[in-house]
Amino acid sequence: MSWSFSVIGSPAAIIEELGRVESGLSGASLDEFKEARPGIETLVRMNSNVKYPPVLHIDANGHASSTGGVRQYSQCAVHIRTLGVKLVTEAVAATEPATTT
């Protein structure tokens, strides 16, 4: 089975999102994600800054193959990229009137 997700946000928001990802899985995919989740959380926390929380983009996926309940193969990939240190979520009104020509 397999699982994957791709999100952009602060480290705290991404860790919170992992719970929503997990709640959407079932069966073998859920088991595989539960095994990978602590490592993903550790990697996200290692990309944090208390004063200026970074904006991260994380892509993660995993899959495994089992025969007769015995895992034959498994793989997990996690890519984390820092996009910046300030996430602007709402437009700010211009302090000067717009000009047209």
Q: What is the pLDDT of residue 72?
A: 86
Which residues form the domain of 74? Answer: 2-84
Let me know if residue 8 belongs to a domain.
yes
Q: Are 53 and 85 spatial neighbours (Cβ–Cβ below 8 Å)?
A: yes
% pLDDT > 90, the chain: 57
Q: What is the pLDDT of residue 49?
A: 80
Let me know if residue 74 belongs to a domain.
yes
Give the pair of three-digit tokens for residue 58.
């994380």
Q: Is residue 85 predicted with pLDDT exceeding 80?
A: no
Looking at residues 19-41, what average pLDDT do you find?
94
Q: How confident is the model at residue 69 (pLDDT cuts 50, 70, 90)?
A: confident
Looking at residues 79-85, what average pLDDT do you find?
89
First to last CA, the chain: 58
For residue 11, what are the contacts with CB-CB under 8 A and spacing of at least 6? Answer: 44, 45, 47, 48, 53, 54, 56
Looking at residues 31-57, what average pLDDT do you find?
91
Let me know if residue 99 belongs to a domain.
no
pTM of the model: 0.79
Let me know if residue 17 belongs to a domain.
yes
Tallying the residues shown for the chain, one arrives at 101
Distances (CA, A) of 12 to 2, 6, 45, 55: 25, 15, 8, 10
Let me know if residue 100 belongs to a domain.
no
